[in-house]
Amino acid sequence: MRVGVALFDGVEELDWAGPWEVLGMWSRRWPEDGIELVSVADDDRPVTCAKGIRVLPDLSWPTAGRLDVLIYPGGEGTQRQLGHGDPVHTRLTELADDGTLLASVCTGALVFAAAGLLRGRPATTHWRWLDRLRELDPTIDVRPDERFVDSGRIVTSAGVSAGIDMTLHLVSRLHSRERAAQVRRAIQYEPQPPV
């Protein structure tokens, strides 16, 4: 199974790095499960994330090939991708049409909505952007109290750590609940915030 994590300038670090941690642990600790994990961006130049860290993508979109799953993170960079006819909309629509399971973190859901992919579906995003999600497509059944929403071929999640929860859900869905629990233990994901 080939899993891609999208990168773009202004991407929120934990929105992609949290799911990457889950998927990376899965692919490395259990290689027999056959998970190939790649990061994908417009080209092979460094991507500057929202808080300033720069990362090098593994692949560019023209060389990415088929993806079984795509994680689409949020961040300030998504705001540039909401305009009508943005090329990323075509790319996401083509992936969906090809059977790729699309999963968003935080404002990645806004890009899905702008591309028309959430029409008539339940979805969520970061609490601050719920109204914008409704504005982009009034047919969306916005779920403000859900950490993630699985609507079949598209899964959306709220902000930051909700992306980790969603990705553990994907491991459970794509493999087993037992494997997801093993991955959670391996990364010692035990959220108990002090505040």
Of the candidates 13, 146, 3, 145, which has an alpha carbon nearest to the alpha carbon of residue 73? 13
Phi first, then psi: give them for residue 5, nearest 5 degrees. Answer: -120, 120
Annotated active-site residue 49? The verdict is no
Q: Cα dist. 49→138, 146, 149 in Å?
A: 30, 26, 25
In 3-state terms the chain splits into helix, strand, coil percentages (rounded to 5) of 40, 20, 40
Q: Which of 11, 69, 103, 106 is catalytic?
A: 106
Contact (CB, 8 A) for 23 and 87? no
57: left (phi over 0), alpha (psi -120 to 50) or beta: beta
Q: Give me the active site residues, please.
A: 106
